[in-house]
Each structure stands twice: as C-alpha cells, then as structure tokens.
C-alpha cells in the first residue's frame, strides 16, 4: 500500500481547514469551494478504501504507524477493521452532504473551517490504534463542536455548548487517567512503555481488579459520549440548540465515538472486565431505551423528540455490544451506521421544517402533508427506518441485536423490546401531529421540498433502502472482525459464547 490512505483521511480535511482559514474574510464562496473539495475528496478516499478493503479480513488493514512521541512510547498508529470500516465511510459521506446541503446563517467561512476540523477529529478517533492518539482526537473533537453549537446554534446555544463541553471533558478526565494507568500497568507485561492498542490488548494481563477499575475509567468517558443513562442530560440540550448541520453530525457520527470506543477500547482491552460489567451496562442500556422512548413521547419540541429517540437507539447499540455474541455485536455495529443515517436524516428534515416555519413546537405544526406531500413522503420513509420497519435499514441492526442478545441477556431483551414498540408509538404519534390534519394558517405557506434538499435526502434514502434490503455486503465485512474480537474476549476471560445456530 503505497498511499497512506488513512493518514490522508485525517489530514485532507485538516488541510482544507487550514487553507480555508487562511483565506480572506470576504471570499466566502472560495472558502466553501475549498471545504467542498476537501470534504468530497475525503469522502471519495473513504469509499475507495471501502472498495479496497478485503472482505473477510478480521485484522487491521491499511495500517500506518510512525513514531510520534517516542519518549512516551506514543506513535501515530492508524488502522481500520470491519468494526470501524463503515463508521469511517459514514463519516466520509456525511460531512460533504452536510457541507453541501446546509448553510449556516452567518460566518460561513468559520463554520466551514470548524466543520473540517471536526471531520478530521472524528476520522482520527475512528482510525486511531494508539490510546494516546485516540484520546487526542476524542478530545479535540470537542473544540469544533463547541464552537459549532455555541456560535451557530439557537437561543440557548452557549448554555448547551458549555454543558456539552464540560460533560464530555469530565468523562474524558477518567479516561485519561485510565489510559495512562493502562499503559503503565501494561508496561510490566510488554517490557516497555507503550500506548499501542494492539500491543496492550494482546500482551497485557491485568489482574481482575485492576482491569475492572481501568475499564470503569474508560467506560465513564464513553458512556457520557454515547450517552448512556444517567449521563445523557447534555444530549437533548446540545441537539436542540445545535445548528442543523451540527445536529446531523452529532447524531450521525459523534455519538458513535462512544459506542465504538466501548467496543474498541472497552471490550477489546479489558475482556474480563467487560464480562464482569455486563449486567450493569445492559441494565443501563435498557433503562436508556425505555426512558428515552418515554421521554421522547412527552416532548413538545420535535427536535428534542428526535434527540431523545437517539438516547433510546443508542441504548440498543450498547445492549448489543455488551450482550457479547457475534450477532449482537454485529447488529450493534450495523445499528451505529444505520442510526447515523436515519437520525441524521431526521435532524436534517427537522432543520428544514424549522427553516420554513421558525418553530419546532409540535403543536404549532399541523397538516404539513397537505401542503408538502413529497416532503412528508421523505419524512415518512426516514421515520419508518428509525422505527425499524423490516425492509429498511433500522430493522436489520435492531433485529440482529435483539436476536443475538436473547441468548445471553434474555430478560433485558424482553424489556428492550418494549422500547421498539414505544419507538413506533412516539414517532408515529409525532408524525400524526405534525403532518396530518388541517394545516393552520401559518402552515399553509409551507414550501415544498426543493431540488437541492431532495437530492440530499435521496442519498440518505438510497442508503436506507439498500442496507435494509441487502445488508449482506456490510455484514460480510463486519462479521470477521467481530468474531475475532469475541475470540479475543473468550481467550482472555472465562466467558464462553453460548452455542447458537450459525448462519443468520
């Protein structure tokens, strides 16, 4: 592999950001072009990587490793496997769409710069195979997100941005201590100080107690990011106050950093502890599912409703992750991507509604279907995907999670299933209140979807339908990695996956 494709994935958006920030203040269109070029280039690179990715490979591909802080055993170590593959692609595609599709209300140039920085950070987080490097990207993401929410958000933006920043940073505080402790404790087993994920995971042999503490440290950070109940309170605020583009990215990829982290840095590093913590995490996940759903039902604000639905959906992902079976984890990874697509699209549409009506209060929106039928059609499809209707992408992930978890976490699954029903309830009810009925005076002039918006949404819809109908290519690439992960877990703990019939 001559081209360091992963390094490029991180650096291209960053380069775009730097170029754009150096442009004169007046040349906003120029900045937009720069942003487009670099984000689209990143997207293409990610797709190319997807194509090149050898199906069936369980290990890390396209690895790129260079010494960075040799004094501390830290290196620039990137790699991609089945688990991160689609998240990277999702990131690569979502960003150009957001940049093309949604314009901020002011200060375009700065907005674009922050977006590109954000993309670079997210890419880095998904690709890092070095604990330190991962932490750097994980943290650096906060800064652009903070500004995106704080500067381009709605009324309560500063409050929301600050809450987001502080919550996440507090979580990372534990993780940083955990990371350093991990590296130092693993030093005995490895022989030298190293922050390399693979090296630590394969060679280290933590005592049960130690591993559990470290695991807790990591999981707190990820739980905030996911967000797992009861650490979720920042999310509705951040989502509601963020600008549409910010919300899309936040829901689409940022939250996945938490669930991805749990898999990669929780389960992989501390298999024994993951097994140990399983009941607690599953319980929290299920509470999150039900609580998110109920809370969503109560919301008066459409965007807030979608935000709470995210809490519920991510609960499913966590459920899948810690059920610790092949199918459940595969389903969880699927669900990460699917949720990114469908919730991202939902936020996009909520944003469109707000653009038109300058309100998101459900009660004030009524009868939109009558004036904008195509718009309503798009919404319906995306909503159904979010509910998990068979044939659409949401179903595949959710179903795999539930099936896979049933063997190891039966009662939790039973409880979680109510979440599925509740999801149908709150989304359909919301749909009914917004789109059905006689349009009020203010909603009479609700504009139909524009061409640009339609094109934008079609990308999402295409992904929704394709994945729903034909998930096989995705599953083929995800499964080997998941399998090898679970083998790692089994070999490093006394946990054994229950036998289930193969071939889902």
Partner 1 sequence: MMLAANMFVGPAIDWFKISPLLVMLGGVLLLILAGSLTPQWKQGTYGVVGALTAAGSAVCTAMLWRDLGEGNPSSLLANALSFSKFSLFATFSVAVATLLAILVTSGFLVREGEDGPEVFALILSAAIGGMVMVQANDLIVMFLGLETLSLAFYLLTASSRWRSASGEAGLKYFVLGGFASAFFLYGVALVFGATGSTNVEKIAASLSKDTVLGGSSAMLLAGIALLLVGFGFKVSLVPFHTWTADVYQGAPTPVTALMGSVGKTAAFVALIRVFTVALSSRSDDWRPVVVMLAVLTLVIGSVLAVVQTDVKRMLAYSSISHAGFILVGLVAAGHSASADAGLGTSGALSYLFIYSILVVGTLGIVSVVAGKGDNETSLSAFKGLGKSNPVLAMGMTVLLLAQAGVPLTSGFVAKFGIIRAAVSTESYALAVVAMLAAVIAAFLYLRIMVSMWLSEGAASRDVAATFSVKASIALCVGATLALGFFPSLLLQFTNQL
* Residues lying near partner 1 in the complex (CB under 8 A): 68-72, 132, 135-137, 139-140, 142-143, 146-147, 150-151, 157-158, 162, 165-166, 169-170, 172-174, 176-177, 180-181, 184, 213, 217
Tell me how far apart the alpha carbons of residues 364 and 34 are, in angstroms, rounded to a whole number.
39
Strand partners, 130: 196
CB of residue 478 vs partner 1: minimum separation in angstroms?
A: 29
Tokens in use for 182? Answer: 């991990």
Q: How many residues does the chain have?
A: 504
The answer to whether 317 touches 338, Cβ cutoff 8 Å, is: no
Indicate the residue among 67 and 455 with the shorter CB distance to partner 1. 67
Strand partners, 389: none
Indicate the residue among 68 and 276 with the shorter CB distance to partner 1. 68
CB of residue 380 vs partner 1: minimum separation in angstroms?
A: 37
Residue written as token pair 């499964």: 479
Indicate the residue among 147 and 322 with the shorter CB distance to partner 1. 147
Tell me how far apart the alpha carbons of residues 236 and 431 are, in angstroms, rounded to a whole number.
19
CB of residue 482 vs partner 1: minimum separation in angstroms?
A: 29
Q: What is the 3-state secondary structure (H, E, C) of 436-503?
A: CCCCCHHHHCCCCCCHHHHHHHHHHHHHHHHHHHCCHHHHHHHHHHHHHHHHHHHHHCCCCCCCCCCC
Nearest to residue 89, comparing CAs of 124, 47, 36?
A: 47
The answer to whether 252 touches 341, Cβ cutoff 8 Å, is: yes
Neighbours of 213 (CB within 10 A): 17
CB of residue 152 vs partner 1: minimum separation in angstroms?
A: 10
CB of residue 210 vs partner 1: minimum separation in angstroms?
A: 10
CB of residue 71 vs partner 1: minimum separation in angstroms?
A: 4
Indicate the residue among 177 and 428 with the shorter CB distance to partner 1. 177
CB of residue 147 vs partner 1: minimum separation in angstroms?
A: 7
CB of residue 46 vs partner 1: minimum separation in angstroms?
A: 23
Indicate the residue among 122 and 285 with the shorter CB distance to partner 1. 122
Q: Is the peptide bond before 227 cis (omega within 30 degrees of 0)?
A: yes
Indicate the residue among 58 and 140 with the shorter CB distance to partner 1. 140
The answer to whether 344 touches 396, Cβ cutoff 8 Å, is: no
CB of residue 268 vs partner 1: minimum separation in angstroms?
A: 21
The helix-helix angle for 234-241 and 302-323 (nearest 10°) equals: 130
Buried b (16+ CB within 10 A) or exposed e, 297-335: bebebbbbbbbbbbbbbbbbbbbbbbbbbbbbbbbbbbb
Tokens in use for 156? Answer: 């309560």
Indicate the residue among 192 and 496 with the shorter CB distance to partner 1. 192
CB of residue 180 vs partner 1: minimum separation in angstroms?
A: 4
CB of residue 224 vs partner 1: minimum separation in angstroms?
A: 11
* Element holding 79 (H helix, E strand): strand 74-80
Tell me how far apart the alpha carbons of residues 13 and 27 are, in angstroms, rounded to a whole number.
19
Indicate the residue among 149 and 253 with the shorter CB distance to partner 1. 149
The number of angstroms, rounded, from the C-alpha of 477 to the middle of its chain's C-alpha atoms is 18
Strand partners, 78: 64, 128
Indicate the residue among 215 and 426 with the shorter CB distance to partner 1. 215
Strand partners, 128: 78
By CB atoms closer than 10 A (0-12, 13-18, 19+), residue 424 is middle
Indicate the residue among 179 and 368 with the shorter CB distance to partner 1. 179
CB of residue 242 vs partner 1: minimum separation in angstroms?
A: 14
Tokens in use for 383? Answer: 């909503």
CB of residue 83 vs partner 1: minimum separation in angstroms?
A: 23
Indicate the residue among 214 and 314 with the shorter CB distance to partner 1. 214
Tokens in use for 428? Answer: 């359909």
Indicate the residue among 234 and 378 with the shorter CB distance to partner 1. 234
In angstroms, what CA-CA distances link 310 with 70, 150, 258, 485?
A: 40, 21, 13, 26
Q: Is the peptide bond before 25 cis (omega within 30 degrees of 0)?
A: no
By CB atoms closer than 10 A (0-12, 13-18, 19+), residue 458 is exposed
CA torsion angle 319 87 463 235 (round to 10): 60
């Amino acid at each position: 592999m001559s081209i360091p494709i992963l390094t490029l994935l991180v650096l291209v958006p960053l380069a775009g950001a730097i170029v754009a920030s150096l442009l004169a203040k007046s040349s906003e269109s120029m900045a937009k072009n720069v942003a487009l070029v670099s984000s689209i280039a990143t997207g293409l690179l990610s797709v190319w990587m997807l194509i090149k990715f050898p199906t069936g490979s369980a290990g890390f591909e396209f690895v790129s490793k260079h010494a960075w802080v040799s004094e501390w055993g830290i290196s620039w170590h990137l790699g991609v496997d089945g688990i991160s593959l689609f998240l990277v692609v999702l990131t690569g595609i979502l960003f150009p769409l957001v940049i093309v599709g949604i314009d901020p209300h002011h200060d375009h140039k700065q907005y674009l710069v922050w977006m590109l920085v954000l993309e670079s950070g997210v890419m880095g987080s998904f690709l890092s195979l070095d604990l330190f490097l991962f932490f750097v990207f994980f943290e650096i993401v906060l800064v652009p997100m903070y500004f995106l929410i704080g500067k381009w958000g709605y009324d309560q933006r500063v409050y929301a941005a600050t809450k987001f920043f502080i919550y996440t940073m507090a979580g990372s505080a534990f993780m940083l201590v955990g990371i350093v402790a991990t590296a130092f404790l693993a030093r005995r087993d490895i022989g030298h100080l190293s922050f390399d994920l693979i090296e630590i995971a394969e060679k280290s042999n933590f005592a049960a107690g130690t591993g559990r503490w470290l695991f807790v440290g990591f999981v707190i950070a990820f739980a905030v990011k996911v967000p797992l109940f009861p650490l979720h309170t920042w999310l509705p605020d951040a989502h509601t106050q963020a600008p549409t583009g910010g919300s899309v990215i936040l829901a689409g990829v940022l939250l996945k950093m938490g669930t991805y982290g749990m898999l990669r840095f929780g389960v992989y590093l501390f298999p024994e502890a993951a097994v140990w913590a399983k009941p607690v995490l599953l319980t929290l996940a299920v509470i999150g599912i039900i609580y998110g759903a109920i809370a969503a039902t109560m919301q008066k604000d459409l965007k807030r409703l979608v935000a709470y639905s995210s809490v519920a959906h991510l609960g499913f992902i966590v459920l899948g992750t810690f059920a610790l079976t092949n199918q459940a984890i595969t389903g969880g990874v699927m669900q990460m991507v699917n949720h990114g697509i469908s919730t991202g699209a939902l936020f996009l549409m909520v944003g469109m509604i707000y653009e038109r009506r300058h309100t998101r209060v459900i009660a004030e929106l009524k009868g939109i279907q009558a004036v904008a039928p195509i718009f309503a059609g798009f919404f319906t499809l995306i909503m159904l995907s979010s509910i998990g209707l068979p044939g659409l992408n949401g179903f595949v992930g959710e179903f795999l999670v539930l099936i896979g978890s049933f063997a190891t976490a039966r009662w939790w699954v039973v409880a979680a299933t109510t979440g599925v029903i509740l999801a149908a309830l709150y989304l359909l009810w919301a749909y009914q209140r917004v789109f059905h009925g006689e349009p009020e005076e203010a909603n009479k002039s609700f504009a139909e979807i524009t061409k640009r918006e339609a094109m934008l949404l079609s990308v999402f819809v295409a992904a929704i339908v394709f994945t729903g109908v034909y998930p096989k290519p995705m599953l083929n690439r995800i499964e080997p990695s998941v399998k090898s992960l679970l083998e790692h877990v089994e070999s490093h703990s006394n946990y054994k996956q229950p036998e289930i019939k193969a071939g889902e």
